[in-house]
Amino acid sequence: MTHMHVAGAIHADVASPAPVWLTRPDDVNELTTKLWSSNTTRETDGVISIGGVKLTELAEQVGTPAYVIDEDDFRQRARTWREAFEGWTLYYASKAFISTMVARWLAEEGLSVDVASLGELTVALRGGVDPARIAHHGNNKSEAELRVSLTSGVGRIVVDSSDEITRLERLCAELGVTAKVMVRVTTGVEAHTHEYIATAHEDQKFGFSIGGGQALVALFRCQNSPHLELIGVHSHIGSQIFDTNGFEVAARRTLKLFAQFREATGSELPELDLGGGFGIAYTKEDTPSSAADLAAGLREIVRHECAGYGLNIPRLSIEPGRALIGPAGTALYRVGTVKPVELGSGFSRRYLSVDGGMSDNIRPALYAAEYSAALANRTSTAEPVISRVVGVHCEGGDILVRNEFLPGDTGVGDLLAVPASGAYSRAMASNYNHTPRPPVVAVNNGRITTILRRETLDDLLALDAGLEKSES
């Protein structure tokens, strides 16, 4: 399982130096393989290297903080998932992280892309993704983004409300086109994840309810529309999910809907998208399933449920995002302040303040998500000490790594690397405290390539209309 507290429990562990699941390492310099990209090593001089690039050299060239993407690792994961799910369509969930370069990688590796905004759609198109291989999501798509989707020839639009169906029909009539659509449904599944990233229970904003009957009505409406081509059903149960248990219930309820539709119309829906949400390891204790195990489990679930309802197996698709880009990414920081804090009862915790924070990774503050960290610029013979990695922002909850054993001599100027930072870090980054966002660089075979450059204060000031008026 993953180790998330409720969002507000920032100080829940103040009475003890470490949570019960965090164990003292035998060797504080050892890198836990499952947490890091496949081309991560600790060199003989103690420096962590990714993709043939030492992180000390990278810090000198691009500065800190920085996001580092192991290009080869990302591509290998894309291939592994594509091979494991042979015969399925894999839509990369671009909300995890997208850029034109990443879009090109995806196109080259034969993956499709899902988008949930005009920005994501534009980046995917500019990155060379075939529009026919794009799925357009969102609970409140604007006319502007629907218009771009329709005129560019996007392969499918996942409709999320009656209002959207009305909007889409009107635009199709105006443009003289037919839109291929899937109906987003809520299955009532309570995924074992944080409340904010569970997306299939009834009381939330996404989709048409199966249990309430709205999903079947939406299917009938799309089927009978002269402007829409109904191609199937889309479901999504949440994020950071480690096994197929929740998917089993979702598939059963969704395929029952398929059977009801066939009974009412005499035809079977051709496609089923089971969504994404596949988890990764952020800590040593996390145990996500492999792509092969997930594929085998989901195949059997669909086969069994289709047999039970007497349905043909539909064309199937899934939407991994975090599972591909998350482990491929590492965040790199430099320590600026070290502060020991006495907790009482003989307990203490060492706070390591780095040059980033919640502006470049909001997940620990938003979900109380757990991360790991390692000293990146050297090895150490010092004893492991329970430490908390915090940022530069004016918030008590500005925590990047809540608890980690790090060498007791970690000090000012040292580099810290946080693995599994490729998903939902730069994608959710902000300019809080007017902080420019870090760069994203790819490393591969000893080369550093800029994916997104570092923001500057000039970038931020360029948006400030008041400055223009004061200078005029």
- Cα–Cα distance for residue pair 22/24, rounded to 1 Å: 7
CA angle 349-355-357, nearest 5°?
A: 70
- Cα–Cα distance for residue pair 74/326, rounded to 1 Å: 9
Strands (E), 280-373: 315-318, 329-344, 347-354
Spatial CA neighbour of 379 closest among 346, 347, 409: 409
Spatial CA neighbour of 113 closest among 169, 84, 139, 152: 152
Token pair 């905004």 in the structure block, residue: 117
Chain centroid to CA 96: 3
φ and ψ at residue 209, rounded to 5 degrees: -70, 130
For 13, the enclosing helix (H) or strand (E) is: none
Whether the CB-CB separation of 146 and 157 falls below 8 Å is answered with yes
Spatial CA neighbour of 453 closest among 443, 466, 468, 438: 438
- Cα–Cα distance for residue pair 112/92, rounded to 1 Å: 6
Marked catalytic residue, from 172, 222, 306, 394? 394
Residues 6 or more apart whose CB falls under 8 angstroms from that of 143 comprise: 167, 171
In the residue annotation, 172 being an active-site residue is answered as no
Give 381: exposed, middle or buried? Use CB within 10 Å, 0-12, 13-18, 19+.
Answer: exposed
Say how many residues make up the chain: 472
φ and ψ at residue 42, rounded to 5 degrees: -105, 120
Token pair 């990414």 in the structure block, residue: 329
Query: Which residues are annotated as catalytic?
Result: 394
